[in-house]
Amino acid sequence: MVDISTLSDSDVVAIVRTKDKELYAEIIKRYQKKLLRYASYIMKDEHRGADVVQEGFIKAYINLNGFDTKKKFSSWIYRIVHNEAMNMLSKNKKQVPMNYEVEQDSGIDLEDDFIRTEIINWTHHCLEQMPIIYREPLSLFYLEEKSYEEISDILRIPVGTVGTRVNRAKGIMKKLCQKH
């Protein structure tokens, strides 16, 4: 019996396509947290981010045969979520974005949790104010730890443009955070 967790994404996809479609749960497990974090940054809202990710996973499943196994699966699925987020953003353009509220988990060390939450809130607040063309590459580079090539594949922009946007985003982030 093969240990599923040792298989690469492409191998899991191959099994889902041909033998066991329910193994798609493994793909969801591997990516849901990362994609939820990414989509939440784009949408500026966790719940709308979750809707985007759900739609993204469904579209990815439907189009699984369209994935080229020679390419990186993570870039492909991030691209689908990116497209889904962009569609939802353009649909809800006229809607006022909901305020991002981080609910605290119940923890033993309340002070540490409070400081951590404050820092996260503060960083989120700075990120939220940034235009999406800078916010997205910045979150992909620093939070999702994607390379410039991967970001280029996800956003479908040249690698050079990725570098420029990340550098500009850093400058904007610095200014925005210093303001507060």
Partner 1 sequence: MSKTLKTQVADLEKTIIEKVKSNEISIKPKWYFIAGSLFAFAGLVGFSIGAVFLTNLTLFLLRRHGPMGQWRLQQLLTSFPVWVPILAVVGIVLGIAMLRKYDFSYKRNFWIIMLVFILSIILAAFVIDQLGLNDTWSRQGPIRRFYQQVGGKADSTKRVSDYGGI
Give 130's DSSP letter.
Answer: S
Cβ-count burial of 120 within 10 angstroms (0-12 exposed, 13-18 middle, 19+ buried)? exposed
Interface segment toward partner 1; rule CB under 8 A; list 63-71, 91-99, 107-115, 135-143: 63-71
The 87-126 contact track toward partner 1, x by CB under 8 A, reads --------------xxx-x---------------------
Indicate the residue among 65 and 95 with the shorter CB distance to partner 1: 65
The Cβ of residue 88 has, within 10 Å, a number of other Cβ atoms equal to: 18
Q: Alpha-carbon distance 68 to 55, whole Å?
A: 20
d(CA 5, CA 173): 37
Q: If binding is defined by CB under 8 A, does position 133 make contact with partner 1? A: no
Q: Cα angle at 171 between 164 and 80, to 5 degrees?
A: 50
Cβ-based neighbour number of residue 39 at 10 Å: 26
When binding is defined by CB under 8 A, the residue of 152, 169, 172, 173 that contacts partner 1 is: 152
Residue from 14, 159, 166, 176 in contact with partner 1 (CB under 8 A): 159
Cα 164 to the center of its chain, rounded Å: 20
Per CB under 8 A, the list member of 7, 15, 36, 86 interacting with partner 1 is: 36
| 61 is an interface residue for partner 1 by CB under 8 A | yes
Q: What residues make contact with partner 1 under the rule CB under 8 A?
A: 16-17, 21-22, 24-25, 28-29, 32-33, 36, 46-47, 50, 53-54, 57-58, 61-66, 101-103, 105, 152, 156-159
